[in-house]
Amino acid sequence: MSALSKDVQIAVIGAGTMGAGIAQVAAQAGHSVLLFDAAEGATETGIEKIGNGLSRLVERGKFTPEEVAGTLSRLNPVARLEDLSPAGLVIEAIVEDLAVKQNLFQNLENICGDDCILATNTSSLSITAIGNALSRPGNFAGMHFFNPAQVMKLVEVVSGSTTSSEIAEVIFSTSEAWGKKPVYATSAPGFIVNRVARPFYAEALRVLEEGGADIGMIDAIIKESAGFRMGPFELMDMIGNDVNLAVTKSVFESFFYDPRYRPSLIQEDLVAAGRLGRKSGSGYYDYANGGPVRDVKTCEQTDFPDFVSVHGNLGITATLVPLMEAAGIKVEIENPKNPDGSIHVGSAELRLTDGSLATERGGNSIYFDLALDYEKATRVALALADQCEKSAVDSAIGLFQALDKSVSIIDDVPGMLAMRTVCMLANEGADVVNQLVCNEEAVDIAMCYGANYPKGPLEWADMIGPEHIEKTLDNLARVYGDPRYRCSPLIRLKARTGNRFRY
């Protein structure tokens, strides 16, 4: 199905941050937009904010004054819901309340034409449940933008059980015509992004609860090693801890209290204390003086090694070998076909974490964490066996310092930080596919364009190898005895068959 033509009027209900952003997107795409908000003066304020934002973009050379004038001329505030009758597509962006939304769309069915497409921007409510109140539910779907809508590329096109496939296709094509990256999804709790993203916060909070690493350390490793733009605690503070907790609770309840989505008592306590993040002046960090102060513990400089022995196949970490050689370290490789790869430097035996404990291996066993790109990573985390000798620790630190990395030591927690986070993101993404919410490509597009991830979870799973993902999850489940870490059947299938997710 083709996109709506530019002569089709678009209506947006709700002139707050999200509604105004959606209205701006439609107007920039050339549509005449009817903007309605029940609050007096809200539509005018919303259009004024759009104008101010576009003016700043003119100053930065992103738009011409003529383009801005054209966009603003297509934004039309209306005073009554009945004034939306000419619209061919109505997008709702109001309060997240099922009854309120159902009532609104029932009224719109009486106001707009029979062929008008009705769409909700809900991030948490069931599309099927909202549509159940309508006489023409086939014309109703989810059109979930991400904040700020005028910047973020992703649109989740969500079908309820009665949504017409043709209507979903029109919304998809229209989103593309508006310069967005749409993905199809079925109506399931959290859709794609808000569901798949839960482990990004949950694993960081669990490590914090256990005292495995402090807030600054966790954020630093997730950014400097795993390549995420923001650490989980920085991001929760930016989103608002009350908002993040509410989404987690909503997903948890919607999945009938599945432990995989269990909220954290730390976050619950923070919200109870009114520490909501940037908007309240404090959260995980203190913003009273303009920004968070981070004191990330970094190992002191130690001697660089001149010889390393690599035993077996290092898999994804094989890129360390040329880095070591470029640093002037002599590398000897033994038994390259052995899948249990390890790096021996001095008396230390280093391995990529697999969800087990270094202490279980004993001796001078040391685990190092996953990196998105070991060449570009600026920090590497190590976890030491309790029995580890100081000389072995110094050798391990010196090795990564020779590769120009900052080195941080965390407690011997299963899966460390980056690895357990990425494995759980991949696991959730695989389950979303396995449960027919969307396809594999949609997972990666959604998380890259809707959450700014450096790599799609399933593409990352291919990089690491489903076999290692499976092993890590099984070890996490064994160590914790928690069904939260159960491995997706799709991950197991890929691991058993040697297939990959690449679509």
Distance CA 23, CA 25 (A): 5
pLDDT at position 394 = 97
Q: Return the sign of the alpha-carbon dihedral for residues 428, 487, 416, 207.
A: positive
pLDDT at position 345 = 97
β-pair type (181-186, 89-92): unpaired
DSSP 222-236: HHHTT--SS-HHHHH
pLDDT at position 1 = 78
Mean pLDDT throughout 176-197? Answer: 97
Q: How many CA atoms lie within 13 A of 316 on its CB side?
A: 22
Residue matched to tokens 């279980």: 360
Average pLDDT, the chain: 96
Retrieve residue 353's tokens.
């974490």
CB 149, CB 97: distance < 8 Å: no
pLDDT at position 145 = 98
Retrieve residue 209's tokens.
């609860």
- Give the phi and the psi of residue 142 in degrees, each rounded to 5: -90, 140
Residue matched to tokens 């801005």: 68
Residue 243: is its pLDDT beyond 90? yes
Q: How confident is the model at residue 431 (pLDDT cuts 50, 70, 90)?
A: very high
- Asked about 468 being catalytic, the answer comes back as no
- Cβ-Cβ contacts under 8 Å for 66 (sequence gap 6 or more): none
Neighbours of 501 (CB within 10 A): 23
- Among the listed residues 31, 92, 109, 123, the single catalytic one is 123
Q: How confident is the model at residue 371 (pLDDT cuts 50, 70, 90)?
A: very high
* pTM of the predicted model as reported, rounded to 2 decimal places: 0.95
- Among the listed residues 194, 225, 356, 364, the single catalytic one is 194
Retrieve residue 336's tokens.
């390259």
What would the pLDDT profile of 115-139 be if each residue is shown by its tens digit? 999 999 999 899 999 999 999 999 9
Of the candidates 492, 356, 341, 474, the one whose C-alpha atom is nearest the C-alpha of residue 416 is: 356
CB 47, CB 26: distance < 8 Å: no
Distance CA 446, CA 344 (A): 40
Q: Tell me yes or no: is domain 307-410 CATH 3.30.750.190.
A: yes
- Among the listed residues 32, 109, 126, 144, the single catalytic one is 144
DSSP 243: H
- Among the listed residues 31, 121, 139, 156, the single catalytic one is 156
Task: Give every strand in the sheet of 330-334, ordered side by side.
Answer: 330-334, 307-311, 342-345, 348-352, 365-368, 379-384, 406-410
Residue 293: is its pLDDT beyond 80? no
What would the pLDDT profile of 48-102 be if each residue is shown by its tens digit? 999 999 999 999 998 899 999 999 999 999 999 999 999 999 999 999 999 999 9
- Cβ-Cβ contacts under 8 Å for 114 (sequence gap 6 or more): 136
Quick one: fold of 10-187?
A: Rossmann fold (3.40.50)
Distance CA 199, CA 13 (A): 33
- Asked about 123 being catalytic, the answer comes back as yes
Residue 184: is its pLDDT beyond 90? yes
- Asked about 109 being catalytic, the answer comes back as no
Radius of gyration, CA atoms only, the chain = 25
Written as one letter, the residue type at 69 is: A
pLDDT at position 288 = 84
Residue 452 gets the label, from left (phi > 0), alpha (psi -120 to 50) or beta, of left
pLDDT at position 179 = 97
pLDDT at position 276 = 96
Peptide bond into 77 cis (omega under 30): no
DSSP 81-95: GGGGTT-SEEEE---
Retrieve residue 314's tokens.
């290092």
Distance CA 27, CA 178 (A): 9
Residue 164: is its pLDDT beyond 90? yes
Please tell me which residue, 503 or 231, carries the higher pLDDT value: 231
pLDDT at position 294 = 75
Question: Would you list the domain boundaries of the chain?
Answer: 10-187, 307-410
Of the candidates 229, 228, 222, 261, the one whose C-alpha atom is nearest the C-alpha of residue 245 is: 261
CA terminus-to-terminus distance, the chain: 23
- Asked about 144 being catalytic, the answer comes back as yes
| Helix, coil or strand: residue 388 | coil
Q: How confident is the model at residue 292 (pLDDT cuts 50, 70, 90)?
A: confident
Distance CA 24, CA 365 (A): 56
